[in-house]
Amino acid sequence: MNSYPAYRILPLGDAAVLVDCGNTISDAVSHAITGWFRRLQADPLPGMIEAVPAYSSLAVHYDPGAVYKLAPAGQTAYAWMKQQVEKRMAATMTGEKEAPRLVQVPVCYEEPFAPDIEDLAATNGLSVEELIRMHTSVPYRVYMLGFLPGFAYMGPVDERLRAPRKASPAQVAAGSVGIAGNQTGIYPLSSPGGWCIIGRTPLRLFDAANETPVLLQAGDQVQFYSISRHEFENY
């Protein structure tokens, strides 16, 4: 059952440790990261403030004062916390297959919601219809959230949909669905952004008034499906 990716643990300043599985984007590594993250969420380490998963790394933030009291004399809070994190990781089975949550996300790929879709299709030698079909053909894994509240980094998208990042960011509307590299994502808020925008969802990815303010979480599966402009407006 011990199918961990290789990792190193290093300090992230003096109030967090970072578990780093290398500079990689892969489902296997992501499964390990979200598995460790969920264990830490469910059963926080003493002195821990929060854990933050990313593609191939996981930060564990701690209160240096609280941890310092727990550490034996002569040991730094960091060294003690590193040990605790290592122990916890060793005790976490990454082989266990947790059924991921599948979230269906409607997207309108029509104008005026898809300012970059024609260019992207042309650059990649596809018709707009082929592009939409490919983008909606498979579910994507949410690797991590970041950049904005509720912004989910998902992938991998088909190599034939790969998009360059824009040289200068443009203003992007909330709900916009974009592609950058082989990643796809949804802007939860209006923001400057450099991703190629191919559609918009009527779903609210971030709602401060909700008890759970964010729709997607790391480890979710997201299935896009195409809706018309009429459906979007009446969603």
Partner 1 sequence: MSLKIIKAGILDTLQDQGRFGYQHLGINPGGAMDRFGMQVANLLAGNEPQEAVMEMHFPGPAILFQQTALIALAGADFSAHVNGEPVHRLQPIIASNNSILRFHAQRSGARAYLAVHGGFAIESWLGSRSTNLKAGAGGYNGRALQKEDELPFRRTVDDRGLQQKEQICLPWRGSDLPEEGATGTISILPGKEWELLSPALQQQLLNTSFLIGSQSDRMGYRLQGEAVQLSLQEELVSSPVCFGAIQLLPDGQLIILMADHQTTGGYPVIAQVISAHHSRLAQRRPGDVLQFRLADQAVAEKLWLQQHRHLLQLQNACIFRLEEWLKT
Closer Cβ to partner 1, 108 or 152, answer by number? 152
What residue type is 200 in one-letter code?
A: R
Nearest approach, Cβ of residue 199 and partner 1 (Å): 21
Closer Cβ to partner 1, 114 or 157, answer by number? 157
Q: Which of 3, 24, 223, 228 binds partner 1 (CB under 8 A)?
A: 24
Q: Per rule CB under 8 A, is residue 18 in the interface with partner 1? A: yes
Cα 63 to Cα 8, 38, 60, 106: the distances in Å are: 21, 20, 10, 41
Taking the CA atoms of residue 86, residue 4, residue 22 and residue 224 in that order, the dihedral angle to the nearest 10 degrees is: -120
What residue type is 97 in one-letter code?
A: K
Taking the CA atoms of residue 207, residue 107, residue 200 and residue 142 in that order, the dihedral angle to the nearest 10 degrees is: 60
Q: Per rule CB under 8 A, is residue 68 in the interface with partner 1? A: yes
Q: Per rule CB under 8 A, is residue 30 in the interface with partner 1? A: no
Q: Per rule CB under 8 A, is residue 70 in the interface with partner 1? A: no
Q: Which of 146, 173, 182, 194 binds partner 1 (CB under 8 A)?
A: 146
Q: Which of 3, 13, 169, 225 binds partner 1 (CB under 8 A)?
A: 13
Give the separation between CA 143 and CA 218, rounded to whole angstroms: 5
Q: Per rule CB under 8 A, is residue 218 in the interface with partner 1? A: yes
**127 burial via Cβ count (<10 Å: 0-12, 13-18, 19+):** exposed
Q: Which of 35, 47, 150, 156 binds partner 1 (CB under 8 A)?
A: 150
Within positions 107 to 136, which residues make up the interface with partner 1, using CB under 8 A?
A: none
Q: Which of these, 182, 179, 175, lies nearest to 27 by C-alpha position?
A: 182
3-state DSSP assignment of residue 113:
coil
Using CB under 8 A, list all residues that contact partner 1. 10-16, 18, 20, 23-25, 37, 41, 49-59, 61, 64-65, 68, 76-79, 144-151, 153, 188-189, 191, 206, 208, 213-214, 217-218
